A = this chain, B = another copy of it.
Amino acid sequence: MSQRAKETFTTAPAPTPAALRARIRGLGASMTRSAQIVAEAVAADPAGCSRLTVTALAERTGTSEATVVRTARLLGYPGYRDLRLALAALAGRQESDEAPAVTAGIAVDDPLADVVAKLAHEEAQTLADTAAALDLAQLSAAVDALATARRIDIYGVGASALVGQDLAQKLLRIGLIAHAHHDPHLAVTNSVLLRPGDVAVAVTHSGATGDVIDPLRHAFERGATTIAVTGGPASPVTHYADLVLATSAARESRLRPAAMSSRTSQLLVVDCLFVGVAQRTYDTAAPALAASYEALAPRHRATAPRTARQEPRT
């Protein structure tokens, strides 16, 4: 057997994914001069190098393609192609680790890209907070109450009205009798009709919105089961709530007082309620969902109109 079949000396057995850095350090001085240069360049900027071709990397390091390939082999990969792939993976990993770089608040002069990143990050944070803070016992009791309710009234005004409507829409779709009221007068008018076995839900971030508290109080006094979805666990609304579901009370900055985190948080709670109820009433919920889906189908256009695309007018 020849002592060097065709310059294929697999120095290391492992084409490892991310142990790359260690490997480079490990081999360190045992590499030839130009191999070191290449390895160093790779270690210094994996992401950047992953975007280069052999030729480009050779040029950048002032070496030749052959040397680059040899270095890749030294590092344990079958060839440069695979080193490049590993480099990309490494870059992806790093990127995900350093993601929460944008924790701060949003400023007036942030570029749009930052705004998007910050908003997404903050809302994700809010979701995590809310999930962690949710009282499962209360949630479970709320699900029970909703699942067996004769009738469900939901109160919310302003931004919370939308959350209430979302809940009502969802519950309706699985066959429950749910109404969302955002008109305070109508809410009160309806609330006095409730009785034991009914459920009233109040959605209010501050927990101090009179227009929502009033109908809830009436429902409470008439014996309905009352649920408060609020960011203020000790706020006025909780006085008339049998069950309190806490939403995250993230501070709202100057540029987003109009309910962002709070809305996200409330919606998560609503979703939890909905899924919980849907699970508990699966036998009736599933067909109801299917039916409403079918009923909607004809309102969707299957394909784009065949006419040529109309150009935006000049």
**What is the oligomeric copy number?**
2
Confirm or deny: A57 has a beta carbon within 8 angstroms of a beta carbon on chain B.
no
Q: What B residues does A282 contact at CB under 8 A?
A: 108
B235 touches A268 (CB 8 A): no
Which B residues touch A236, using CB under 8 A?
A: 301, 303-305
Q: Is A309 an interface residue (CB 8 A)?
A: yes
The size bracket of the interface on A is 35 or more
Residues of B within 8 A of A234 (CB): 304
Among A86, A159, A162, A293, the one with the most B-chain Cβ atoms within 10 Å of its Cβ is A162
**How far apart sit A238 and B258, CA to CA, in the bound complex (Å)?**
29
Contacting pair A173 B258 (CB below 8 A)? yes
What B residues does A300 contact at CB under 8 A? 206, 208-210
Distance in Å: Cβ of A118 to nearest Cβ of chain B: 9
A255 touches B275 (CB 8 A): yes
- Asked if B89 contacts A239 (CB within 8 A), the reply is no
Give bound CA distance, A50 to B274, whole Å: 37
Complex Cα gap A113–B93 (Å) = 21
Q: Which of B92, B170, B240 contacts A92 (CB 8 A)?
A: B92
Q: How far is the CA of A128 from the CA of B173 in the complex (A)?
A: 28
Select which of B117, B271, B272 is within 8 A of A131 by beta carbon: B117
Q: Are A124 and B128 in contact (CB under 8 A)?
A: yes
> Are the C-beta atoms of B271 and A119 separated by less than 8 Å?
yes
Q: Among the listed B127, B165, B256, B286, which residue makes an inter-chain contact with A275, where contact means beta carbons less than 8 Å apart?
A: B256
Q: Which of A242, A302, A312 has the most CB of B within 10 A?
A: A312
Whether B263 pairs with A264 at a CB distance below 8 angstroms is: no
Of all A-B residue pairs in the complex, the 6 with the closest CB atoms, nearest first, are A89-B92, A92-B92, A120-B131, A92-B93, A88-B88, A93-B96
CB within 8 Å of B: which residues of A?
A: 17-18, 50-51, 84-86, 88-93, 95-97, 106, 108-110, 112-113, 115-117, 119-120, 123-124, 127-128, 130-131, 134, 136, 139-140, 143, 158-159, 162, 165-166, 169-170, 173, 206, 208-211, 213, 220-221, 223, 234-236, 239-240, 242, 254-258, 260, 263-264, 267-268, 271-272, 274-276, 278-279, 282, 286, 289, 293, 296, 299-305, 309-310, 312-313
